[in-house]
Structure 1
Amino acid sequence: MSGSELDKGYVAQGVEQRWYDFWEKEKLFAASEEGHGRPGYSIVIPPPNVTGMLHMGHALNITLQDILCRYRRLCGDNVLWVPGTDHAGIATQNVVEKKLMAEGTDRHALGRQAFIDRVWAWRKEYGGTIIRQLKRLGASCDWDRERFTMDDGLSRAVREVFVRLHREGLIYRGEYLINWCPRCHTAIADIEVTYDERQGALYHIHYPFEDGSQGLVVATTRPETMLGDTAVAVNPDDERYAHAKGRKVLLPLTGRTIPVIEDRYVDTAFGTGALKVTPAHDPNDFELGRVHGLDTIKVIDDRGFMTEAAGDRFAGLERFACRKAVVAALEAEGLLVKVEDYTHSVGTCYRCQTVIEPNLSKQWFVAVKPLAEKAIEAVAQGRTRIVPDTWTKTYYEWMNNIRDWCVSRQIWWGHQIPAWYCQACGEVIVAEETPTACTACNSTDLVQESDVLDTWFSSALWPFSTLGWPDRTRLLETFYPTSVLVTGFDILFFWVARMLMMGLHFMKEIPFHDVYIHALVRDEEGKKMSKSTGNVIDPIDIINTYGADALRFTLTAFAAQGRDIKLSESRIEGYRHFINKLWNAARFAMMHVDRGYEEPPPANAGLADRWILSRLDNARKSTADALDTYRFNDAAGALYQFVWHELCDWYLEAAKPDLYGKNGEEQKEKTKQVLWHVLRDTLVLLHPIIPFVTEEIWHALPGTQGSIMKASFSGAGGTGSDVDAESRMALVIDVVTGIRNVRGEMNIPPSKNLDVVVHVADETVHRHLEEQQEMIINLARLASFSIAPSGEKPGHAAVSVVGEALVYVLLEGVIDFAAELARIEKELAKVEKELDGVTRKLSNSGFLEKAPASVVDAVKATSGELTEKQAKLKAAHERIRAFV
């Protein structure tokens, strides 16, 4: 393909698939286990759920990782980007169970193995959707090394880790209070609980003394749990309850008596200062119960219904229906003192949003304190760095207050816990391989634990299990520790902290040097995207409409550290214009450049040529520095500024006389050579962010070979920074800009050639302007351009001050001053009328209070635009009035 064969406009559809197929076929994403002297650079993808579909959070995450990988390849590194998916235990099981329900059956009817077979079949048919979508986005993963958390290698790693931790006493089984989801029918970890502020009630209930006399009043938000109370606690320093110490009270509605205990845990300021203690249904009460040796009575079952222990009146009721029944019964018996409105934090399952139920259950736990200490130390010592650093404090707070990790889940899809129970003697056998007999009594009557491991357990091993551990593979030696982990803040604790703990424990080394935490992608008003609010922007729809490159550049341009992205289609469309700008610049360049140039750009080229080479060098350094420090938006900003403003707006315009041969064949050839190098290197700098269009142009550019992915980010060396050329060109740009501003303010059409006189006393500036006189005439579209050390101000001239130079634009015969004044006054009156209406609206308190925030913001933006326009019109009016 030659330059002349580039289509008139860039159309992403078709181009993107063609180049992605080419990259895959040529194995351009593949890493080398040997390295051959190249530095190793590795990233493991945060494995999306096998049930997942690409959303904007994924799109941002994958784009940033892909930028880093493509950039490091261009820098000569041996890059391994490991892709894969997570088996997503609960989510995947729910999907398949819904399908079974539609067929009129369920997993229990199928049996465990048949159900698991169905899940594998579902995964084979539907589980690759998100991988295909990642490819649409341009993800340059080493797909030959794709992993799945349930594949044989990772399953082997999971078993070994579980068994070793158990042998070391870091995994144990015990009966504790855990978070239980009645909808998912499984335990969930503390960090899988989402807390929402909800409007509820605080119920004040009278607990009489056992002799029937006036007793204590307790306050609770969950009156249904009182049926399982085994004590009332007061603070020993609370004088209000000195008379109650050592006594017993009657538990309302049950006929049981329970003791009044003393503990300084009790907050005297909450409620009445008397605390009902329900060890089986509250984590803090559970700890109180252990300290004071209280009974545990479970009154809510795994489905969220009341048990027989709740009593005949309430057994079988759904928990929230029971709450109403208990309140009604208390009121009927005169034991409900009062009910207050109360806002409190309610824990819900992060997967299905069901209110979680603290549940007394025998589960498997990881004792994480010893593991957490090393992970805290690794970050404190700087061995692993969290970027931006603001998240480091959050990391420490969570890790310093970490609780043991409940890793057992009561589902079938996942890694079945490698523990077996002897039915003869009760021995528990934990082993990597299935045992044939009990190690204690030699019985063969063994039953494997039915629970599976928490999905995050296998994910915690991801940085080393995906590289072949527990075998000491060449891949592991070459690429572990990985270079950086790119992830969202929401899984800093779910995943990042656990990978640090497991990596340090089993590899004796950190799993990654850097953790880059990216922000959320929100809608244009800053709201979180959700299907319920209807503000979701589907990345695949965007790719179909605007192309992957436009989406990638938009996300990158707004990916500032610590700042959420406000995304809208208009912004994506705006960056599609940037893609088209690059395309058109390439088409123009290749109309003039008909061959490649192996030799570096000439050092003795014209001023504009030297200047653009210097600006290219600056863009290269700025982009590299930004990517090296994860300032993705700065990289996009530097490239946008260079391409749109410096290359297209200035250099290509300045180079046209040379390219058209007006300054001789020698200069024409030099400019062609510079233009080829600049376009070639610009494509390379842009490639990590917009890979498809750069590959397309690269193959059309004469003199290029192979894929752009094989190019070098450092380019051909160039001429480096040229301070002299930049200083001289800056003077030209300032003068031309000053003339263009006058043209705009005076409403002078671009086609009208102007006469300009410059007064400047500085001999150096005078000489520079004389040398670049032809360039200024060309760029500013002038009829004449004369320079003098000083002189009288020309009549009817608008002046622009550029440093010590006075640039006079002669207006005699160019403008009908009276007509222009009339035009400005008419437009000014219209603007002021509109501004008055907007101002009155913004001063109306009713509007500000009742109108949606988006509407108010839009009116404020209109006010700002009209105010700015008013100021410009007034300035133009004053300037022209001076000539009348």
Structure 2
Amino acid sequence: MLDKTFDPKTAEPRLYAAWEASGGFAPTDDPAAEPFSIVIPPPNVTGSLHIGHALNNTLQDVLIRFERMRGKAALWLPGTDHAGIATQMVVERQLAEAGNHSRRDLGREDFVAKVWEWKAKSGGTIVNQLKRLGASCDWSRERFTLDEGLSAAVRKVFVTLHKQKLIYRDKRLVNWDPQFQTAISDLEVEPREVDGFYWHFAYPLEDGSGEIVVATTRPETMLADTAVAVHPDDERYKALVGRAVRLPIVNRPIPIIADEYPDPEKGSGAVKITPAHDFNDFMVGKRHNLPVINIFDDFARINDNAPVEYRGLDRFVARKKVVEAFEALGLLREIEKTRHTVPHGDRSGVVVEPYLTDQWYVAADVLAKPAIKAIEDGDTVFVPKNWEKTYFEWMRNIQPWCVSRQLWWGHRIPAWYGPDGKAFVEETEAEAMRQAEEHYGRPTPLRQDEDVLDTWFSSGLWPFSTLGWPEKTDDLARFYPTHTLITGFDIIFFWVARMMMQGIHFTGEVPFKRIFINALVRDAEGKKMSKSKGNVMDPLELVDDYGADALRFTLTAMSGQARDIKLSRQRIEGYRNFGTKLWNATRFCQMNGCARAEGFDPVDVKVPLNRWIVGETARTAQAVTAALAECGFGEATELLYRFIWNQFCDWYVEFAKPLLTGDDETAKAETQATTAWALDVILKLLHPVMPFITEELWAQTADLGAPRAEAGFLMTARFPELASELIDPTADAEIALLIAAITEGRSVRQELNVPASAQPALLVVETSADQRRILTENAPLVARLLRVSELSFVDAVPEGAIPYVVEGATLALPVAEFIDLAAERARLSKEVTSLAADIDRTAKKLGNADFVVRAPEEVVEENRERLAEAQAAKAKLESALARLGVAA
């Protein structure tokens, strides 16, 4: 007999250990099994499980468990990312906190050894946390982006692209993090709104005949100005185009040029052009062949290209000094307060600088073309489809991809330089030395490029490098292309696009057939979670409090809600109660002798109630299978919840009680066997979403009657495939009438505040002959569940009775002796009036375009929800008034 309650704290670790030890997470060896593979978006080795991970990995696990149970060779390949800058930052911080040397003091080799040491000690944290969530990855195939096999793939790709002239070295602007002294990707740049100033500076014309005023938020960069630009159609400046100003402080003449970049309506209409320190200015400089002067060093200090008195100053100290100099020269025209967006490094938190450096670039525009066509042709599909637009917008406007990083932790760029700076790009140092000897005519010492590759470069190879490429492995042949990628919308540009480009280029096939974009998890009020707001929900804490199954079901159920998920503890608690409901129903069935019968076939059941639950089970199995196959996670959980809680636990179990305790032994035995069969199917259907409680119930009910068709773990049992012939329309109609009669009768009682203790008769006014038979045969059941004294057949609805219609039959509840009808009408009318006023206020607010645009997104959404709730409540009250004969 089952214990009274399910204890996740003891059951989950025990069950997971048993699953893992069984080898059941590995794909079947059956060569006839259809391959189905997904690769995990590799979490950072520095990471710990956050709520976004919990959502993403739950959906992956639901899908892989579902396909595994469908008999496919299901592979969920796990791994972690070395996460160059993030991991290096962690170890550098540890060194600083311990009072040890900096990485530069240690030297590259010793520092990297320290990082590996840290990775060995702490790098598996998130893997163990994923296991607590129930992730059924094939851990025997776990990969790390710096594994030797994956490193070989990285070198192969880099060298191949270089030989194809798709990787090259160039001097361009990058996002530069002065704290880490490295280029960073756009993804690693965090725009922050800050209070600042526009300083309006006057630049005197070189001939002394006047001045031109420019405005800037970064005065220090004027030391590197090489032009002033005005719009060609700006009449104010047409006569000045082609002339020059003398750059203050630097005392260098710079030209006034005409370009479409300046906005005549903004500021003075004239802008300073600093090609080395602004992305827009860099493009203007290229169009006009302007000099490019870099005035920063790697730490964002002023270098030797500036006047001597500024050299070595921090950029912000230099800023203050420049402003003071303009004021002293009488050239500071205005200081205007502003609030503007300033890029910051998401890891370091310091202001990022556009910085001119020599870097390695990938010709992403060339690689993007086949990746665009693959989506256009439907070789890979986005779910939801609207994310294609985001993908296309990025890919069709893609810029050269800077892949070099000035870090020590990562894939070292396979390029070696000779004494004259010539680069030899090869997979090994030995091959580079051989090429150098051939070039120079003698053995020549080489030095390897100091930089490492962008983390996205190696993770972009993830779908095929993890399967053994460039070797022609069995896994690669069997599982590539992978089937489904589940990931967040925030890395469509940076990871999904890279994988599409590199996968197609190096394998000739798309890396996955389907890309499912999951939602963003917000708090219960719709606000983005952040430590500063104090609204972060720790998934491990939630697992401790409610169990992994409850969190998994909540996230899966809510994943269909557009772009955002509003997560609350109340919702998770509700789904924990759902698990408890199933546990209690199973326990009830055990106590009432429900057991599998030898040779039981659901097609042969005779009792209408059993024919009905068999049909509902078949209908649910078909719908859940169709939903999960299409990544309809929210739809699948809605179907499961409604079927298990409402149809099975509530209606079927309640309706079955008289049969299980009655004298008809044939009906009793059939009901016991049908119940056991339905429970087995329920456990299979629910397992992908709630694996722990279902596996425990599967084991605890193994000895109920005849042996199951599938021995062993539920995890590897066959997902139900039930035929439509099990659905019986006649039984459906019979049970539907009973459910509707009880449900609608309960609504009447609730809406009109009929006391729970009151037991009026249920009047049957008008029915078909068949409906009359059904209600007569089930009169005791209806009376018990609706809490009425009896069923009575009458010719008309008497005064003081409330009629209601179900399935074409007219029934009525005489309630006048239990409630004051006039007082009830007054109460309902008052509540309707109050709700109408609330609806009007909220609708006017939402109809105000200014409110919708300016109010925080979560406030607007809250008002929309309030409006919908009030409208639904008003409709319900109006229905109750209508029952009382009052027009709302």
Alpha-carbon offset, residue 299 of structure 1: 1.2
- 1:391 aligned residue (359, 382, 387): 387
Aligned to 1:531: 531
Conserved in 1, the CA contact under 8 Å of 2:829 and 2:881? no
Separation of aligned partners in 1, 2:788 and 2:227: 94
Alpha-carbon offset, residue 256 of structure 1: 1.3
Alpha carbons of 1:671 and 1:504: their partners in 2 closer, same or farther (altered >3 Å)?
same
Q: Does 1:215 align with 2:216?
A: no
Bigger mean CA offset, 667-676 vs 104-113: 104-113
Separation of aligned partners in 1, 2:170 and 2:878: 79
Q: What SS does the corresponding residue of 1:276 show, helix, strand or coil? A: strand
Aligned to 1:95: 90
Alpha-carbon offset, residue 786 of structure 1: 3.6
Conserved in 1, the CA contact under 8 Å of 2:754 and 2:819? no
- Deviation per residue, 1:769-814 (Å, 9 max, x gap): 33444443343344432446xx2434653332224422133458xx
Separation of aligned partners in 1, 2:861 and 2:447: 64
Q: What SS does the corresponding residue of 1:445 show, helix, strand or coil? A: coil
Bigger mean CA offset, 426-435 vs 648-657: 426-435
What is the 5 A alignment of 1:241-256? 241-256=237-252
Q: Does 1:433 align with 2:434?
A: no
Alpha-carbon offset, residue 691 of structure 1: 0.4
Alpha-carbon offset, residue 55 of structure 1: 0.3
Aligned to 1:50: 45
TM-score by length of 2: 0.91
Conserved in 2, the CA contact under 8 Å of 1:166 and 1:172? yes
Separation of aligned partners in 1, 2:412 and 2:162: 15
Q: Does 1:808 align with 2:817?
A: no
Q: What SS does the corresponding residue of 2:606 show, helix, strand or coil? A: coil
- Report the AA paired with residue 736 of structure 1: I
Q: Does 1:282 align with 2:278?
A: yes
Alpha-carbon offset, residue 859 of structure 1: 10
Aligned to 2:59: 64
- Report the AA paired with residue 91 of structure 2: V
Q: Does 1:657 align with 2:658?
A: yes
Aligned to 1:722: 728
What is the 5 A alignment of 1:358-373? 358-373=354-369
Aligned to 1:444: 444
Separation of aligned partners in 1, 2:13 and 2:375: 41
Q: Does 1:625 align with 2:626?
A: yes
Separation of aligned partners in 2, 1:383 and 1:192: 30
- 1:145 aligned residue (141, 147, 156): 141
- Report the AA paired with residue 654 of structure 1: F
Alpha carbons of 1:395 and 1:208: their partners in 2 closer, same or farther (altered >3 Å)?
same
Bigger mean CA offset, 178-187 vs 764-773: 764-773
What is the 5 A alignment of 1:185-264? 185-264=181-260
- 1:354 aligned residue (333, 337, 350): 350
Bigger mean CA offset, 589-598 vs 726-735: 589-598
What is the 5 A alignment of 1:432-581? 432-435=427-430, 436=433, 438-439=436-437, 440-441=439-440, 442-560=442-560, 562-581=562-581
Aligned to 1:314: 310
- 1:154 aligned residue (150, 157, 178): 150
Q: What SS does the corresponding residue of 1:213 show, helix, strand or coil? A: coil
Aligned to 1:680: 680
TM-score by length of 1: 0.92
Equivalences, count: 867
Q: What SS does the corresponding residue of 1:54 show, helix, strand or coil? A: coil
Q: What SS does the corresponding residue of 2:562 show, helix, strand or coil? A: coil
- 1:707 aligned residue (707, 713, 732): 713
Conserved in 2, the CA contact under 8 Å of 1:299 and 1:307? yes
Alpha carbons of 1:407 and 1:869: their partners in 2 closer, same or farther (altered >3 Å)?
closer
Conserved in 1, the CA contact under 8 Å of 2:825 and 2:884? no
- Deviation per residue, 1:235-289 (Å, 9 max, x gap): 4443322322332210011111122233344444443332322121122322333
Alpha-carbon offset, residue 695 of structure 1: 0.4
- Deviation per residue, 1:744-779 (Å, 9 max, x gap): 345555565543231225334334433444443343
Conserved in 1, the CA contact under 8 Å of 2:380 and 2:514? yes
Alpha-carbon offset, residue 84 of structure 1: 0.2
Aligned to 1:758: 764
Alpha carbons of 1:718 and 1:18: their partners in 2 closer, same or farther (altered >3 Å)?
farther
Conserved in 2, the CA contact under 8 Å of 1:54 and 1:540? yes
Separation of aligned partners in 1, 2:840 and 2:57: 47
Conserved in 2, the CA contact under 8 Å of 1:626 and 1:632? yes
What is the 5 A alignment of 1:822-833? none
Q: Does 1:179 align with 2:188?
A: no
Alpha carbons of 1:63 and 1:596: their partners in 2 closer, same or farther (altered >3 Å)?
same
Alpha carbons of 1:797 and 1:266: their partners in 2 closer, same or farther (altered >3 Å)?
closer
Aligned to 1:636: 637
Q: What SS does the corresponding residue of 2:398 show, helix, strand or coil? A: coil
Conserved in 2, the CA contact under 8 Å of 1:623 and 1:638? yes
Aligned to 2:797: 793
Alpha-carbon offset, residue 301 of structure 1: 1.8
Q: What SS does the corresponding residue of 1:328 show, helix, strand or coil? A: helix
- Report the AA paired with residue 32 of structure 2: G
Separation of aligned partners in 1, 2:66 and 2:250: 70
Separation of aligned partners in 1, 2:836 and 2:372: 59
Conserved in 2, the CA contact under 8 Å of 1:600 and 1:718? no
Bigger mean CA offset, 325-334 vs 85-94: 325-334
Separation of aligned partners in 2, 1:335 and 1:500: 53
Q: Does 1:734 align with 2:740?
A: yes
Alpha carbons of 1:69 and 1:839: their partners in 2 closer, same or farther (altered >3 Å)?
closer
Conserved in 2, the CA contact under 8 Å of 1:388 and 1:517? yes
Q: What SS does the corresponding residue of 1:81 show, helix, strand or coil? A: strand
Task: Give identity over the alignment, percent.
Answer: 48
Aligned to 1:645: 646
Bigger mean CA offset, 456-465 vs 827-836: 827-836
Separation of aligned partners in 1, 2:519 and 2:80: 22
Separation of aligned partners in 2, 1:853 and 1:504: 39
Q: What SS does the corresponding residue of 2:154 show, helix, strand or coil? A: helix
Q: Does 1:115 align with 2:120?
A: no
Aligned to 1:272: 268
Conserved in 1, the CA contact under 8 Å of 2:190 and 2:344? yes
Alpha carbons of 1:866 and 1:79: their partners in 2 closer, same or farther (altered >3 Å)?
closer
Alpha carbons of 1:121 and 1:777: their partners in 2 closer, same or farther (altered >3 Å)?
same
Conserved in 1, the CA contact under 8 Å of 2:344 and 2:351? yes
Conserved in 1, the CA contact under 8 Å of 2:748 and 2:880? no
Alpha carbons of 1:761 and 1:458: their partners in 2 closer, same or farther (altered >3 Å)?
closer
Alpha carbons of 1:809 and 1:189: their partners in 2 closer, same or farther (altered >3 Å)?
closer
- Report the AA paired with residue 210 of structure 2: Q
Alpha carbons of 1:393 and 1:825: their partners in 2 closer, same or farther (altered >3 Å)?
closer
Alpha-carbon offset, residue 197 of structure 1: 4.3
Q: Does 1:127 align with 2:123?
A: yes
Alpha-carbon offset, residue 844 of structure 1: 14
Alpha-carbon offset, residue 101 of structure 1: 1.3
Alpha carbons of 1:709 and 1:356: their partners in 2 closer, same or farther (altered >3 Å)?
same
Q: Does 1:411 align with 2:407?
A: yes
Q: Does 1:402 align with 2:403?
A: no
- 2:73 aligned residue (43, 61, 78): 78
Alpha-carbon offset, residue 742 of structure 1: 3.6
Alpha carbons of 1:653 and 1:710: their partners in 2 closer, same or farther (altered >3 Å)?
same
Alpha-carbon offset, residue 337 of structure 1: 2.1
Bigger mean CA offset, 285-294 vs 727-736: 285-294
Conserved in 1, the CA contact under 8 Å of 2:839 and 2:871? no
Separation of aligned partners in 1, 2:396 and 2:693: 48
- Report the AA paired with residue 223 of structure 1: P
Q: What SS does the corresponding residue of 1:765 show, helix, strand or coil? A: helix
- Report the AA paired with residue 192 of structure 1: E
Q: What SS does the corresponding residue of 1:244 show, helix, strand or coil? A: coil
Bigger mean CA offset, 34-43 vs 17-26: 34-43
Conserved in 2, the CA contact under 8 Å of 1:821 and 1:880? no
Separation of aligned partners in 2, 1:276 and 1:286: 12
Separation of aligned partners in 2, 1:742 and 1:519: 39
